């Protein structure tokens, strides 16, 4: 009797796995739906639990972010765990990481995160230069080694200003080429890549395996970018409504081995736009 019951359980698991496989067949986006917590920057300070319930209701199970102000990492992780939301990545400021990466590493571990990303290199407004890039390379290699030694992957998140021309490429190329792949990986923000005048598709073809994380965002059609690393919130539109070639980016990102994808909606209409962006991702075909 026990053997028959066990066999039935195995058959059920196999059938469920097969059903899931058929459900995913033909879909381009097959990863868990993720979100960058900055999307809900206006909501978390008001009500953490209500915000997490909103995220859960959207079917989001992966998040990049840290504990909201006034809450410990353990407390925040518990609330996320209760809702089936995994915190796979968190962030750290350049200055704090350069001074000592260990506090950020300890926070990441308390959250259950495997990645720490840095999203900004200090520089004078609109004048990111070679000295800034060289300093970042030196710091990133050191920070990344400490993180790797402690079981965390360090990623630099581009913001658009790095695409200043340099030699036969850009300062972004300089950073990628001069950081140690063993210690430094990258998170591509596809909106800021496009806004900075670069081509996300070309970069994925060029540096594919260096990318581990991705921010999914779309830039309003007709908007001409620049090297400031900034654009008004109304230029952040629903995925698929803008000028970024998201389907081709996803194809190449999957091939490159990008691990986590986070929708980041920097508009002031996140409650209206997030469901539409999620529906767009689910609608994409191979």
Tens of pLDDT along the chain (286 residues)?
Answer: 444 433 443 444 343 344 444 456 799 999 999 999 999 999 999 999 999 999 999 999 999 999 999 999 999 999 999 999 999 999 999 999 999 999 999 999 999 999 999 999 999 987 999 999 999 999 999 999 999 999 999 999 999 999 999 999 999 999 999 999 999 999 999 999 999 999 999 999 999 999 999 999 999 999 999 999 999 999 999 999 999 999 999 999 999 999 999 999 999 999 999 999 999 999 999 8
Q: Residue 2 falls within a domain, yes or no?
A: no
Q: pTM for the full model? A: 0.91
**What's the structural domain count of the chain?**
1
For residue 207, the 8-state DSSP code is H
**Inter-residue contact 67 to 97 (CB < 8 Å):** no
At residue 277, the pLDDT reads 98
Q: Which domain range does residue 114 map to? A: 29-283
At residue 6, the pLDDT reads 39
Burial class (CB within 10 angstroms; exposed 0-12, middle 13-18, buried 19+) of 18? exposed
Q: Residue 13 falls within a domain, yes or no?
A: no
Q: Residue 169 falls within a domain, yes or no?
A: yes
At residue 25, the pLDDT reads 76
At residue 258, the pLDDT reads 98
Give the contacts of 42 (CB within 8 A, at least 6 positions apart).
Answer: 268, 270
What is the phi/psi pair of residue 237, to 5°?
Answer: -115, 175
Which CATH number belongs to the domain containing residue 68 in this structure?
3.20.20.150
Q: Residue 4 falls within a domain, yes or no?
A: no
Q: Residue 84 falls within a domain, yes or no?
A: yes
What are the CB-based long-range contacts (under 8 Å, 24+) for 39-43? 39/263, 39/264, 39/265, 39/266, 39/270, 39/274, 40/270, 42/268, 42/270
Q: Residue 15 falls within a domain, yes or no?
A: no
Q: Residue 21 falls within a domain, yes or no?
A: no
H/E segment holding residue 153: strand 153-157
The b-or-e profile of 111-143 (16+ CB within 10 A means b, else e) is bebbbbbbbebebeeeebeeebbeebbebbbbb
Residues in the chain: 286
Q: Residue 17 falls within a domain, yes or no?
A: no
């Amino acid at each position: 009797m026990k053997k028959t019951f066990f066999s039935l359980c195995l058959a059920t698991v196999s059938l469920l796995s097969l059903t899931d496989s058929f459900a995913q067949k033909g879909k381009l986006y097959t990863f868990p739906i993720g979100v960058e917590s900055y999307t809900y920057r206006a909501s978390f300070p008001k009500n953490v639990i209500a915000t997490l319930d909103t995220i859960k209701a959207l079917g989001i199970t992966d998040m990049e972010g840290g504990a909201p102000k006034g809450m410990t990492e353990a407390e925040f992780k518990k609330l996320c765990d209760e809702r089936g939301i995994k915190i796979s990545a968190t962030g750290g400021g350049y200055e704090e990481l350069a001074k000592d990466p260990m506090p950020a590493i300890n926070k990441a571990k308390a959250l259950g995160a495997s990645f720490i990303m840095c999203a900004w290199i200090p520089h004078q407004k609109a004048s990111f230069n070679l000295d800034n890039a060289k300093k970042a390379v030196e710091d990133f290699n050191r920070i990344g080694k400490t993180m790797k030694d402690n079981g965390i992957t360090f990623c630099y998140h581009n913001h658009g200003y790095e695409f200043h021309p340099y030699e036969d490429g850009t300062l972004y190329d300089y950073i990628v080429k001069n950081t140690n792949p063993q210690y430094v990986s990258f998170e591509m923000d596809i909106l800021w890549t496009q806004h900075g005048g670069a081509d996300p598709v070309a970069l994925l073809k060029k540096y594919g395996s260096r990318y581990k994380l991705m921010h999914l965002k779309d830039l309003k059609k007709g908007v001409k970018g620049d090297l400031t690393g900034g654009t008004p919130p109304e230029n952040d539109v629903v995925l698929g409504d803008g000028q970024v070639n998201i389907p081709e980016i996803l194809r190449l990102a999957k091939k490159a081995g990008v691990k986590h994808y986070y929708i980041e909606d920097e508009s002031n209409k996140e409650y209206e736009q997030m469901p539409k962006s999620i529906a767009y991702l689910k609608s994409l075909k191979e």
